[in-house]
Amino acid sequence: MNKYNNFRQDFPVFTYKNYIIEETADTVEVGYTFSIDGLAEFTPSWIFPKPADISVKNDLTFERLAFSLGMAEAVSYWKATCSPVMRVECGELSDEQVQWWKKLYFLGLGEFFYINGIDADMKSFVDIQPVGKFSCTAAAERKPLMGCLVPIGGGKDSALTLETLTQADMKCRCYAINSRNSIMGTVRAAGLSDETLITAGRKFDRSLVELNKQGYLNGHTPFSSVVAFSAEITAYLHGLKYIVLSNEDSANESTVAGQNVNHQYSKSFEFEQDFHSYEEKYLGTGVYYFSFLRPLSEFQIAKMFVSHKKYLPVFRSCNLGSKVSPDIWCGDCPKCLFVALILSPFLSPDELADIFGKDMLNDVNMENYFIELIGKSEHKPFECVGSIDEVNLAVSLAVRNILKNGGDMPYLFKKYVDMGAYQPELIDSKNKEYCEKYSETNLLPEEFAELLKNEMERLL
């Protein structure tokens, strides 16, 4: 907390200086300039592919999109000093928009504040001061929107979404930021051509990493909001009607018990609703943003996903492993363990070992993460993982399968039984509850809701 207060005093102003749009026949590049006044300047950038017959010159809608992506990016750099004033010298923001961004920053930085011991409050943690103007005044004419843009992260959730939509003959393009092997592997496993994937190039300013090494503040930011705004740009450029996310109901659960600290805030339904409203009021692209898997839990998704075995060799969900090439399962993090646990009732030990390259459930080094995932600690792992209840259900089902069919009990499951967490009398009712669950708290258009319900009935 002292470091936080000292930095705010030493560096009172963060400035979003400008965004510069440069266009070629088949790309649009957007460069940004942010500064922590008196300390550093940052110049991240993006490159978006576009059709040759589309231009963004003098297009107010694209200006709004480019500016908004910059607002989503800015918080990653602002957090180094948490300057009390964010001066926005480009674009335009109403008072209502300022409050929208403050909410995203504050709740999206909940984990950052918690980990760094910062007692921030919504009202005073930052004062966003807009002083800029857009450079053009009219939106360009566009053809009617058609088809879906499906952001692909390489994991099981987006694979399930893509498989379901393509099997229903939905027109789909895929979207990725700085594509990896698992993303292309998912696209190909779905039977789609490489050209189906639209890849945006994001260049992060590495000078922020150097500041972190010097002791400036670091931590989790609401990256899925960056995905949202960059996907919106991509859908707009390519004339696609829907952005079809793969965030599930489980993403709404707080990471820290009893506190509003959610590692997955920008994957939550609250953010989905907020983004949907922001697009309608302030961007006006006509693109409809929603999560196809929002009615489901991670448990349901895992059970549905394993029926599509063609994705098992290619999917990856490990954040650490995504930073190496080719992307891998690191086998040492809570995300890897969570995926192993949630899949454990539905796959054999050999199939699990083939996925991760090791026996995750017999790894004694995973014990602390296991305790967090089953809810026996102060907080869940700070990762994109499912709810405590569904992890317990998955583990209980896997334990029961072993007891019924014979075989050695893995170390973590033996630990689960020995600590009295295994409650066989609750398994069937919990399993029925989760398999039949369909949260009405969603934004699915009717045709997509019907499609998902039919797929649930077929697979569950």
Do 326 and 426 reside in the same domain of the chain? yes
Do 263 and 348 reside in the same domain of the chain? no
Higher pLDDT, 408 or 49: 49
Q: Which one-letter amino acid corresponds to residue 42?
A: F
φ/ψ of 279, rounded to 5, equals -60, -45
The helix/strand/coil state of 329 is coil
Structural domain includes residue 170: no
Q: What is the reported pLDDT for 143?
A: 81
Average pLDDT rounded to a whole number, residues 347-371: 94
Does 257 score more than 80 pLDDT?
no
Residue ranges making up the domain that contains 366: 320-437
Does 31 score more than 80 pLDDT?
yes
Longest dimension (CA), the chain: 71
Does 458 score more than 90 pLDDT?
no
Do 99 and 214 reside in the same domain of the chain? yes
Does 91 score more than 70 pLDDT?
yes
Structural domain includes residue 327: yes
Percent of the chain having pLDDT more than 90? 87
Structural domain includes residue 309: no
Do 130 and 272 reside in the same domain of the chain? yes
Do 136 and 234 reside in the same domain of the chain? yes
Do 229 and 367 reside in the same domain of the chain? no
Q: Which residue among 244, 271, 291 closes a domain?
A: 291
Structural domain includes residue 458: no
Does 115 score more than 70 pLDDT?
yes
For 410, left (φ over 0), alpha (ψ -120 to 50), or beta? Answer: beta
* Chain mean pLDDT for the chain: 94
Do 46 and 102 reside in the same domain of the chain? yes
Are β-strands 27-36 and 40-42 bridged in parallel, bridged antiparallel, or unpaired?
antiparallel
**Alpha carbon distance 109, 126 (integer Å):** 12
Does 212 score more than 80 pLDDT?
yes
Do 383 and 252 reside in the same domain of the chain? no
Q: Which residue among 273, 291, 309 closes a domain?
A: 291
Buried b (16+ CB within 10 A) or exposed e, 88-123: bebbebeeebbebbbebbbbbbbbbbbebebebeee
Do 212 and 260 reside in the same domain of the chain? yes
Average pLDDT rounded to a whole number, residues 219-231: 97
Structural domain includes residue 300: no
Residue 304, strand partner residues: none
Structural domain count, the chain: 2
Q: How confident is the model at residue 460 (pLDDT cuts 50, 70, 90)?
A: low
Do 108 and 211 reside in the same domain of the chain? yes
Structural domain includes residue 222: yes
Do 363 and 234 reside in the same domain of the chain? no
Do 84 and 186 reside in the same domain of the chain? yes
Does 320 score more than 90 pLDDT?
no
Structural domain includes residue 223: yes
